[in-house]
Amino acid sequence: MSNLVHILAIESSCDDTSVAVLRNNEVLSNITANQAIHSSYGGVVPELASRAHDQNISTTYEAALKVADIKPDQIDAIAYTNGPGLLGSLLVGSSFAKGLSIGLSKPLIAVNHMKAHILAHFIDGQNQPELPFLCLTVSGGHTQIVLVKDIYDMEVIGQTKDDAAGEAFDKAAKMLGIPYPGGPLVDKYGKEGDPKRFTFPKANMPNFDYSFSGFKTAVLNFVRKSSDKNPDFIQNNLQDLCASIQNTIVETLFDKLILAAKAHKINQIAIAGGVSANSLLRSKLQKIGEEHSWKTFIPKFEYCTDNAAMIGITAYYDFLKGNFSDLGLVPNARLKLSVED
């Protein structure tokens, strides 16, 4: 058998339809179709998301093959996101993957979306953390500190008990009248603001866990009271508000990450997930890393948000182990990363 393994990967956990082709750990193509329709509703509408996946997946698949310059019969395995995510969206991706698996007589590999975010660090031979390492995985739906003992052995040692950091960014942005998705715009406006201008609470959770529900309520109450006194309050203070909100969320994330690193005596520290594209989170990781003598790792920007390349790299390691999936496997919207999760 050739040492070259070609994986075709499909990611459809939320509102982006993505298809990638990998040769071993090298990305030959990574095509993503975004869904602009959700901005009109201030958030992802599950039914609209699944319909858009159904419309986009065939053309995205064809584009991925064309860019990779590869024929379907050259593919060694078909990978797809099995969860967590929106069930309707997951079903579109899994059904398409199963159809390809049957039609091409290729093995099927179901991938955990959160594990894939972590293994994005191993794409294309980029600067990689040594095992064991800690990964702060932050997205719109999840906030976790994961102890990565091995590629096949990961333990969630801390997580949010209510809302995720990404959701806190988007909901706070909505309170300020910033359109969805608000997180990137909070980042943009916050660069010009004073992060210490306004003070918001940080939840005092036990161990390495997080909570952002109280933070969201505090921001809402503050903005409402201030706007009652001055209708132009948000407009006049938007940059400082964004900077202060962003700073509070990022500080909260690092408070627990520092504790976890000390407790587990680990200096290999990584971040992953959509929020790892945030400029303050990235710069603060490097700064705090220098202060604590950490070796820090950040995926390339294109591998931070949901993408099929991260599904492909995860499937590549499963392929090497012969970890294939049954066609009868049903997508799991609440799929967990570890038994501790």
Question: Does the pLDDT of residue 1 top 50, yes or no?
Answer: no
**CA–CA gap between residue 39 and residue 22 (Å, rounded):** 31
Beta-carbon contacts of residue 270 (< 8 Å; ≥ 6 apart): 118, 121, 129, 133, 134, 135, 136, 148, 296, 297, 298
Is residue 326 domain-resident? no
In the block, which residue shows the tokens 């590549």? Answer: 316
Collapsing DSSP to helix, strand or coil, 76 comes out as: coil
What number is the average pLDDT over the span 31-59? Answer: 80
Is residue 332 domain-resident? no
Tell me the pLDDT tens digit for each residue of 271-303: 999 999 999 999 999 999 999 999 999 999 899
pLDDT value of position 227: 97
CATH number, domain with residue 216: 3.30.420.40
194 & 106 share domain? no
Task: For the chain, give the mean pLDDT.
Answer: 94
108 & 188 share domain? no
207 & 309 share domain? no
191 & 220 share domain? yes
pLDDT value of position 6: 98
238 & 294 share domain? yes
**CA–CA gap between residue 294 and residue 133 (Å, rounded):** 10
In percent, the amount of the chain with pLDDT more than 70 equals 96
pLDDT value of position 103: 97
Question: Does the pLDDT of residue 35 top 70, yes or no?
Answer: no
**CA–CA gap between residue 149 and residue 164 (Å, rounded):** 24
Is residue 96 domain-resident? yes
93 & 114 share domain? yes
The string of DSSP letters for 176-191 reads TTPPSS-HHHHHHHHT
pLDDT value of position 24: 97
186 & 258 share domain? yes
Contact 80, 93 (CB under 8 A): yes
45 & 72 share domain? yes
**CA–CA gap between residue 166 and residue 146 (Å, rounded):** 17
21 & 144 share domain? no
Is residue 74 domain-resident? yes
Identify the domain containing residue 309 by its residue range: 6-119+303-321
190 & 155 share domain? yes
Is residue 66 domain-resident? yes
Tell me the pLDDT tens digit for each residue of 92-134: 999 999 999 999 999 999 999 999 999 999 998 778 999 999 9
DSSP state of 325: B
DSSP element (H, E) containing 21: strand 17-23
pLDDT value of position 2: 60
**CA–CA gap between residue 296 and residue 287 (Å, rounded):** 10
41 & 135 share domain? no
Is residue 215 domain-resident? yes
**CA–CA gap between residue 285 and residue 149 (Å, rounded):** 21
Is residue 77 domain-resident? yes
Question: Does the pLDDT of residue 339 top 50, yes or no?
Answer: no
Tell me the pLDDT tens digit for each residue of 142-200: 999 999 999 999 999 999 999 999 999 999 999 999 988 889 999 999 999 999 999 99
Q: Give the CA count within 13 Å in the CB-facing half-sphere of 120.
A: 31
Number of domains in the chain: 2
DSSP element (H, E) containing 90: helix 87-104
Is residue 160 domain-resident? yes
Question: Does the pLDDT of residue 340 top 70, yes or no?
Answer: no
169 & 282 share domain? yes
Show the CA angle centred on residue 161, arms to residues 159 and 162, nearest 5°.
120
**CA–CA gap between residue 1 and residue 4 (Å, rounded):** 9
